[in-house]
Amino acid sequence: MLIKLTGGIVYDPASGIDGQQQDIYIRDGRIIAKPADAVVDKEYDLKGKVVMSGAIDMHTHIGGGKGNIARTLLPEDHRQDPVYRSDITRSGCGHAMPSTFVTGYRYAEMGYTAGFEPAVLPNNARQAHMEMGDIPILDKGGYVMLGSDDYLLRMLTAKKDQKAINDYVAWTMTGAKAIGVKVVNPGGINAFKFNQRKLDLDEQNSHYGVTPREILRVLATAVKEIGVAHPLHVHGCNLGVPGNVQTTLDTIQGIGGLPMHLTHIQFHSYGTEGDFKFSSGAAQIAEAINRNKNITIDVGQILFGQTVTASGDNMRQHANHKHASPNKWVTMDIECDAGCGVVPFKYKDQNFVNALQWAIGLETFLLVNDPWRIFLTTDHPNGAPFTSYPHLIRLLMDRSFRNDMLATIHPEAQKMTTLASIEREYTLQEIAIMTRAGAAKLIGLKDRGGLSAGNWADITVYTDNADRQKMFEKPDYVFKDGQLVVVDGKVVSTKWGTTHVVKPEFDASVEKGLKDYFDRYLTMKLGNFKISDDEITEDGRGSISVHPLQGDVA
Amino acid sequence: MTEITEVPSPFCGIGTDDLTIKVDGVLLKVIENGCAVNTPAFEQPITDTQARVSGQEVSLDVAVAKAAELLKDTKLPLIGGCATDVNGMRGLLALADKAGAVIDNMNFTGARNNFLALQDSGWMNTTLAEVKNRCDLLLVVGTDVEAFAPRFFERYLWNKESMFLEDTSSREVIYLGRAPSGTASTSPTGKAAQVLPCAIEDLPEVIAVLRALVKKQPIRVTSVAGIAVADLQTIADKLLAATYGVVTWGAGALAFKQAELTVQTLSEMIKDLNNQNTRCSGLPLAGKEGDQTANQVCGWTTGYPARTRFSSGYPEYDPFLNETKVLLENGEADALVWVQAFNVNAVPPETNLPTIVVGRSGMTFTKEPDVFIPVGTPGIDHAGHAYRMDNVVAIRLKKLRESGLPSTAEVLNAIEQAL
């Protein structure tokens, strides 16, 4: 079947197309060049409509144990947003931590066609993939979490060379079916198990004598040398601690020019100035990002209202539990691998700290110059549920709306932010870079995030509207792999997306040391740890898409 | 005849995956690392291979069609048992959503003690590998651990080596409430566990006093439920002095009213300990009859644990009103689907309602159900996934033999399609 999308205004940063009228042809799920004399089976008249590729959320907690703990913890939140079944969709729940099916529907209904779970614990990777396997429509993938695992820390203490560490990282990525590597509070989750309650960048783990700075270096080097496109994905030290802006600046400096992605940087951009000893470090951070081209970031914007924070960082989540609202929370130590912490939060615009967090996130968006190196996230659900993205886009694209909102927050927070003076408004092309082309490039997706021939036909069509929130919350059409899945912001058909992975090579002898370690200290056999392809494909719904490594011949 | 090694078990809840099983046709024999729970569960012979309608053998298609017919005009079908693997639960939830059913895992009334505490105040928990390498003090509350999982101590406490303990046999074990039924908790060097018994229904009082002592509150009485407060003080001191204390309980073993408050007191006590400059974690025992699997899959599919109804068109969780027993006794349910792929002895509750059993081959009934579809067991007849007790690790179950029995998922998907 040949589909033609006629006359839309196309924003395709991957091809350098910025708002030009173009026709798009789709056959067998992919975008093709204009075919000679072929009969068009189905034509959509998109004259005047805005056309982008499907959006990609490069950091969203959509699969894995901590998310399911968050769900279990909050029945009262689900009850306020029940989702009915229909002839084509399953029932579920929405709001802060939606059920898997509803996650897929609601992302698609906003024009998103892919989401990446950033915190896949190796020992919990099966669950992450099984949950994502129940998310319809979206493509998905995961970044495997390392850096607090005892195996790596033992290697560092034993002064194993970089090659050995590269093999271990590549082996873990393959076993856990990952497309990236993440580190969360480097070494800190491990230190918490030894009763350390904080861990600065140059502070030693009390058992291993290893510092977060060393862990970051060795993992960033491994990711680069293995050839993984996505740079080491870093949730830094001291999340949420006033004064952590210095930690973040030191982290950037300490990585020595290696590629590094700093995630939910808003939570790591706090100073200690002012009457409340809490201030914005966004300007310093933005300056450092602008200067250091090896660094990419996503923001982790907070938006006001009830949500739940779910993180691998049990050290910091334990410290934050006193802010839990409602007052209930969970932490776990997990399998000599990592941990997790789940703390419900209600961000309030009349709370000074929350109000300034909101402003810090927006300052960061507006002060970082290069949209190819900054990504639109709320760290779903930690800063706000992903369903708030259209509102966030309006805040970025509409200065007068932004200033109206600014005028309503805690007055002392208004005084502590430069937001009112920032004139920048994001353009449609910049939004398309942050949420499409840039995200695909960052993750290393070879045929997503663009609209040129050869890409998969993940396409979102909007009606241009000066109210950008209205525009982005209700696309006219969404196509996933060429299938029309959303019309007027409602799911009209469903399908199953693919799981994006890389399969880096490693020296097979890496398993010798690992087998011994599994037998002596862990709770399952090495052979039972590794996830096989058929675990993702056997129910007939899932599929695996392997992406090239840097240095591969295309 | 073949031997399969490194076989994971879905039966014991503690994720043993070192069994060696000899396969001779459809006969299985556990030849290494069996236990009183796993060996009979693996060796259970296949009896039925054919579905039955009203006691008459029929094809699978006919049985599926009959099941769909029985469910077609129901108002509130009840899907009980819910004891299967991840794909089985996926199929079960799809069927429940379409049929407007209630689903209820058979262990939920016990698990409810944990869920109510979790959903009210939360907890700080740990997993088995952390226990294996870090735990220097294990406090067992009201539960006979070795009856629950015979190899728990061998695998996770008396392991030869650990990363952070010089000598694993120096770990200390204390039983509070219930004495152990055997000697699995005695260390390899012969050190027996300390046991402070009391009536199980007195545990709320005992645990409340223990928490008060951990918080250094003054206690005026000298004994509680027959236990000297001085002995409880010793436990509190040991918990405070431990490097990595672990407190374990079986929610189902706390068989007294409002035991959720005892789970909550324990969980809050663990938080108190972590606020007094040491580490301590909870470790709830579970993972049997697919209970953790049911709660996990229902959790991500609906937002709620596996006692949830779909009769309004969307999921509604109620840990009391959606209970199988309540729905049957009150006459609210109008059909019963019993799903139990693990245990031939876990038969459906007695009822006069139209009954469909999707059960492990070998199940016998005092009253023949309207439809019986024998299914394979995950981890024996087909591959699958099951969650173990700590709810983090989903073990990959292996297919060990070619029995021709369908999986739970295949049967439930077929019924859903026929509906």
DSSP letters along B268-335, please? HHHHHHHTTTSEEEEEEE---TTHHHHHHHHHHHHSS-SEEE-TTSS-EE-TTTT-HHHHHHTT--SE
HSE, CB side, 13 Å, CA atoms: give it for residue B112.
21
CB contact under 8 Å between A335 and B393, yes or no, is: yes
CA atoms of B245 and A337, how far apart (whole Å): 19
CA atoms of A376 and A383, how far apart (whole Å): 12
CA atoms of A235 and A311, how far apart (whole Å): 10
**Amino acid identity, position A526:** L
Q: Specify whether the CB–CB gap between A535 and B404 falls below 8 A.
A: no
Domains assigned to chain B? 46-107+289-418 (3.40.50.740), 111-285 (3.40.228.10)
Residue that the structure tokens 């949209």 belong to:
A371
SS3 of residue B354 by DSSP: coil
Scan residues 7-36 of B and list those with Cβ closer than 8 Å to A.
Answer: 8, 15, 17-18
Q: Specify whether the CB–CB gap between B283 and B251 falls below 8 A.
A: no
Name the nearest CA neighbour of A196 among B214, B279, B338, B309: B279
**Amino acid identity, position B309:** R
With a CB cutoff of 8 Å and minimum separation 6, the contacts of A68 are A127, A131, B296, B299, B300
CB contact under 8 Å between B127 and A334, yes or no, is: yes
CA atoms of A60 and A142, how far apart (whole Å): 10
* Residue B167, Cβ density class (10 Å: 0-12 exposed, 13-18 middle, ≥19 buried): exposed
The beta-carbon neighbor of B303 closest among A78, A130, A329 is A78
DSSP type of residue B366? S
Name chain B contacts of A121, Cβ cutoff 8 Å.
392
Query: What is the 3-state composition of chain B as percent helix, strand, coil, each rounded to the nearest 5?
Result: 35, 25, 40
DSSP type of residue A177? T
Best residue in A61, A68, A72, A340 for a mutation probing chain B (most B CBs within 10 Å): A72
Closest chain A residue to B273, measured at CA: A195
The beta-carbon neighbor of B119 closest among A75, A318, A531 is A75
Residue A380 C-alpha, separation from nearest chain B C-alpha, in angstroms: 16
Name the nearest CA neighbour of A363 among A420, A435, A310, A291: A420
**Cross-strand partners of B21:** B4, B30
Q: Specify whether the CB–CB gap between A259 and A226 falls below 8 A.
A: no
Pairing state between β B77-83 and B335-340: parallel
Residue A38: what pLDDT? 81
Residue B413 φ then ψ, to 5° = -65, -40
**Token duo for residue B250:** 């079986």
Question: Can the peptide bond before residue A381 be classed as cis, meaning omega within 30 degrees of 0?
Answer: yes
Scan residues 149-188 of B and list those with Cβ closer than 8 Å to A.
Answer: 155-156, 160-164
Which architecture does CATH list for A55-450?
Answer: Alpha-Beta Barrel (3.20)
CA atoms of A174 and A191, how far apart (whole Å): 27
* Residue A512, Cβ density class (10 Å: 0-12 exposed, 13-18 middle, ≥19 buried): exposed
Residue A539: what pLDDT? 84
CA atoms of A104 and A119, how far apart (whole Å): 19
With a CB cutoff of 8 Å and minimum separation 6, the contacts of B34 are B19, B42
Residue B226 C-alpha, separation from nearest chain A C-alpha, in angstroms: 33
DSSP type of residue A42? E
Quick one: residue A227, left, alpha or beta (phi over 0 = left, psi -120 to 50 = alpha)? left
DSSP letters along A514-537, please? HHHHHHHHSSS-HHHHSPPHHHHH
Q: Specify whether the CB–CB gap between B143 and B288 falls below 8 A.
A: no
The dihedral sign for the CA sequence B240, B241, B246, B249: negative
The greatest distance separating any two alpha carbons of chain B, rounded to the nearest whole angstrom, comes to: 70
Name the nearest CA neighbour of A375 among A469, A283, A301: A301
With a CB cutoff of 8 Å and minimum separation 6, the contacts of B85 are B10, B290, B293, B341, B378, B379, B384, B385, B386, B397, B407, B408, B409
554 residues of chain A, pLDDT tens digit each: 999 999 999 999 999 999 999 999 999 999 999 999 889 999 999 999 999 999 999 999 999 999 999 999 999 999 999 999 999 999 999 999 999 999 999 999 999 999 999 999 999 999 999 999 999 999 999 999 999 999 999 999 999 999 999 999 999 999 999 999 999 999 999 999 999 999 999 999 999 999 999 999 999 999 999 999 999 999 999 999 999 999 999 999 999 999 999 999 999 999 999 999 999 999 999 999 999 999 999 999 999 999 999 999 999 999 999 999 999 999 999 999 999 999 999 999 999 999 999 999 999 999 999 999 999 999 999 999 999 999 999 999 999 999 999 999 999 999 999 999 999 999 999 999 999 999 999 999 989 999 999 999 999 999 999 999 999 999 999 999 999 999 999 999 999 999 999 999 999 999 999 999 999 999 999 999 999 999 999 888 999 999 999 876 54
Pairing state between β A459-463 and A49-53: antiparallel
CA atoms of A521 and A154, how far apart (whole Å): 12
Q: Specify whether the CB–CB gap between B47 and B372 falls below 8 A.
A: no
| Neighbour count for residue B76 (Cβ, 10 Å) | 16
Name the nearest CA neighbour of A342 among A32, A66, A47: A66
Residue B99 C-alpha, separation from nearest chain A C-alpha, in angstroms: 11
Cα angle A148-A150-A153, degrees, rounded to a multiple of 5: 75
Torsion angle, CA of B86/B89/B91/B93, rounded to 10 degrees?
-140
**Token duo for residue A410:** 């805690």
- What confidence tens digit (pLDDT) does each residue in A409-463 have? 999 999 999 999 999 999 999 999 999 999 999 999 989 999 999 999 999 999 9
